[in-house]
Every structure is written in C-alpha cells, then in structure tokens.
Amino acid sequence: METRRNRPLDGVTVIDFGQVYQGPYATYLMAMAGATVIKIEPLGGEPVRQRRVISPVAAAPFAMLNGHKKCIALDIKSEAGKEIVRGLVKNADVLLENFAPGVMDKLGIGYEALRQINPRLVYASGSGYGLSGPDRDNLAMDVTVQAASGLMSVTGFPDGPPVKAGPALVDFLSGIHLYAGVMTVLYERQFTGVGRLVEVSMQETVFPAFASNLSFLYENNQVPPRTGNRHGGLATAPYNVYPTRDGYISIIAIKEGHWNKLLDAMGRQDLLTNPDFNSKAARVRNLEQTDQLITDWSSKLGRDEAMEILRKHKVPSAPVRDLVEVANDPHMHERGILEWIDHPEFGRVVVSNNPIIFHGAERARAVPSADLGAHTGEVLAGMLGMSEDEIEALDKQGVIGRA
C-alpha cells in the first residue's frame, strides 16, 4: 500500500478544466495541499498559456497558478476525447470547470452525465453570474463583472470616473470561493458517500465586500459615493492614504486608543480634548481637517521615517509599496509564501505558495508549471491503462497532444 504523504488532500484526484485565473487558482490551492491535479487543456493550450504569442513572458501568470499539476492536452469535442474524460472521472474525486454555463452539458460531459459514472464526484462550476437566472448567459470577465457587480461604482475618487481594481480581484475572490465550496462538499461526502454539484458566481462573491458601502446606503438612502482612499461608508476617520516626502503611507484609527497613539506619534497631544477631534463622530464630521492635520505631519517626513515613528507608537499603518518591493518582501519569503524560481520558459519569476498554512503538514515547494501536454502519456497510461500504441494512435488522430 502506498504511504500517504503528510498533506491534507493527499489521495484526492482533481480533474481540472480551469482556465485563466478563477478555476486555476482554486485547483492550485488543491494541488499545493497535496491533491493530484490533472489539468486538461485544449490542443492549443488554455488562454493564459496562449499569451506567449504576444511576448515570451506574457504567459508568465500561467507559472503562478499551474505548478504541481499534471498537464494533458485533449480535444474534448471529439468522441474519443469525451471518452477519455469519462474514463478519468471514474476514479476522480473532483472535477472543476469555469466554462460558460451549459458548455459541458452540450458536450455530454456535464454534471448530470458524469454523476451517473461516479456518484461520489464533486463537480464544481465557476461562472460569471451563476447557472440559473436571467443573466446566466451574459459573458463574464473580471473587468466586466467588476462593472456589473457595483465594484467599479465605489472605486476611484468622487470627481473622477469609475475605476476597476488594479488586480484581477473578482477572478481570485471567486476562485477562493470555488476552493471553499469543493472542500465543503468533500467534507460532506465523508458522511453521505455521494458528491454534488457546487457552483460559484463571480458577481455573487463580490457583494459581501460592500459591507461598509452599504452602511452609507442605509444611513443616507442614496447611492454610496466613490470615496478614494477613505472609508467606503465614510464612517471612520482617519482612514486614508497620506503623502510623505518620497511616497505614501496608509493610516487608520478604528478605536479611540489608535487616535490617541497617533496624536502621540505626531506630537499633538494638545488635541486630545479638542472637540473637533476627540471622538470618531467629530473626526468624521471634520473629515477634511482631520486628514489635513495628518498630511501636515507626514509630508515633512520620508516614508520609512514616518513608518518607524508610527510602528513605535503602535498606530495601525503601512507603507504604500510597489510590486518590486512586495515581490522581494523578506517577511513573505522567510515564511515561504513567496519563492523565486527559474522557469524554463519565463526565466526568473516569483510564485506564491498556498496562503493557507497547514501546521505540521509537509509544505509543497514551488515548481515550474509543465509544458502543454507534458503528462498526457503518463496520465492515460497510469489512470486508464492505455498502451503506448493506443496513446500514439490518439496522438495521430489529433485527439491528444504531447509535449
């Protein structure tokens, strides 16, 4: 009997049809937790891998999300390709896809068909707007869902247009929910012995993040404004980004104790009893004056100098760092969350480990993502018992691709 590795998902087999960011991130978390993830791509590769036609490193995000996966290339529109999927599903625990709703059903390899083959299968579907409802078939990408979900409407400054979040926030937020959904059903399966369909809508994962903005709606009965770097509900002050001589810092004071420590840091204990600033309500009422008070202090200092003072006084704060600083962050590298690797296709890139740390379990180290079809032969032989002649025949027929 094969010895089980000390990783939470060791022994779990995942069939991964994920593409771009949402699906691949969910299955990457599974792979880093020990699952065997078989990534199935079309013969030309999934969309992010295809970006290499733009430039040699345009596809580098692929390396971030697809290490520790076995990559196979398969034409799932062909009958032989569908049969391979059905064969793989027989002994799989999870199948995850984030195609448009109905795509897998039309191919005859959707949930209803596959659960007949394997009732224990956890089938995870990620989509823009869900598998039902009037908006089901609307095309969805991160930026369009940011628009439709309301995220853009509250992002930016009051005198400017709506702005998208800098990173692909919705793709990854929904990817995390996909992972959580799969884990929840895997837990349930221990008791029921059967899997189920679990779905995640990109738009629906955004709404809870509006907690502060909705408080403004309820209190003022009007559309929440764009507040720049201020609190979304305009209910906390200070809460902003402030300039220094050579950069910016973020400061927030949720509690009165935070404000008192900030006054100590700025050397303005004289304001402790000032009625314009001596309560959160007063500071919100005098928002412009509160921010100007801090700006007058911070703008005379260098970013690191200001941060040293704020940390000494235990004021909730952080420097606004660029991605070069973050990618080389000693803290995250020491914790093993970030790791530089030499990728055979993309050169030296930084990749992230699983942010969910399982204490006492073996930690997966970063590895380069595999070439398109690198494991096709291995998977077909190992999981389906195919001979080399059978695999070669499928290759010649254009059903599969091999590296």
Q: What predicted TM-score, i.e. pTM, was given to this entire model?
A: 0.94
Residue 230 maps to a domain: no
Average confidence (pLDDT) over 243-247: 98
Residue 188 maps to a domain: yes
Which H or E run contains 126?
A: strand 122-127
Which H or E run contains 123?
A: strand 122-127
**According to the 3-state scheme, what is the secondary structure of 205-251?**
HHHHHHHHHHHHHHHHCCCCCCCCCCCCCCCCCCEEEEEECCEEEEE
Domain boundary among 288, 320, 352: 320
Transcribe 308-320 into DSSP letters: HHHHHTT-SEEE-
d(CA 25, CA 95) in angstroms, rounded, equals 14
Residue 216 maps to a domain: no
Burial of 130 (0-12, 13-18, 19+ CB in 10 A): middle
Task: Please give the pLDDT value at position 5.
Answer: 85
Residue 107 maps to a domain: yes
- Residues 58, 119, single domain; the answer is yes
Task: Please give the pLDDT value at position 4.
Answer: 82
- Residues 53, 140, single domain; the answer is yes
Return the CATH number at 112. Answer: 3.40.50.10540
- Residues 31, 178, single domain; the answer is yes
Model confidence pLDDT, tens digit, residues 340-383: 999 999 999 999 999 999 999 999 988 999 999 999 999 999 99
Tokens representing 189? 């399966």
- Residues 244, 374, single domain; the answer is no
Domain boundary among 289, 320, 351: 320
- Residues 335, 186, single domain; the answer is yes
Range scoring the smallest mean pLDDT among 54-58, 229-233, 380-384: 54-58
- Residues 193, 55, single domain; the answer is yes
Domain that holds residue 305: 239-320
Burial of 270 (0-12, 13-18, 19+ CB in 10 A): exposed
- Residues 174, 55, single domain; the answer is yes
Tell the residue number behind the tokens 């908006």, with chain if given.
Answer: 135
- Residues 267, 397, single domain; the answer is no
Residue among 26, 35, 46 nearest 198 (CA): 26
Question: Rounded to whole angstroms, what are the CA distances from 268 to 202, 240, 259, 274?
Answer: 46, 19, 11, 11
Model confidence pLDDT, tens digit, residues 251-282: 999 999 999 999 999 999 999 999 999 999 99
Is residue 336 helix, strand or coil? coil
d(CA 104, CA 238) in angstroms, rounded, equals 50
Please check whether residue 32 is in contact with residue 354, taking contact to mean a CB–CB distance below 8 angstroms.
Answer: yes
- Residues 300, 339, single domain; the answer is no
Average confidence (pLDDT) over 149-177: 96
Tell me the percentage of the chain whose pLDDT exceeds 90: 96
Report the first-to-last Cα separation within the chain, whole angstroms. Answer: 31
Residue 101 identity (one-letter amino acid): P
Average confidence (pLDDT) over 8-22: 97
How many domains does the chain contain in total? 2
Return the CATH number at 254. Answer: 3.30.1540.10
Residue among 298, 273, 283 nearest 238 (CA): 283
Residue 167 maps to a domain: yes
- Residues 73, 148, single domain; the answer is yes
Task: Please give the pLDDT value at position 3.
Answer: 75
Please check whether residue 204 is in contact with residue 130, taking contact to mean a CB–CB distance below 8 angstroms.
Answer: yes
Tell me the percentage of the chain whose pLDDT exceeds 70: 100
- Residues 48, 173, single domain; the answer is yes
In this model, does residue 1 exceed pLDDT 70?
Answer: no
Which H or E run contains 198?
A: strand 197-201
In this model, does residue 195 exceed pLDDT 70?
Answer: yes
Residue 225 maps to a domain: no
Confidence band of 56 (pLDDT split at 50, 70, 90): confident
In this model, does residue 182 exceed pLDDT 70?
Answer: yes
Question: Rounded to whole angstroms, what are the CA distances from 140 to 22, 151, 171, 172?
Answer: 12, 14, 10, 14
Confidence band of 2 (pLDDT split at 50, 70, 90): low
Which H or E run contains 31?
A: helix 22-32
- Residues 160, 141, single domain; the answer is yes
Residue 197 phi, psi dihedral angles, 5° rounding? -85, 130
Active site members: 171
Model confidence pLDDT, tens digit, residues 58-85: 999 999 999 999 999 999 999 999 999 9
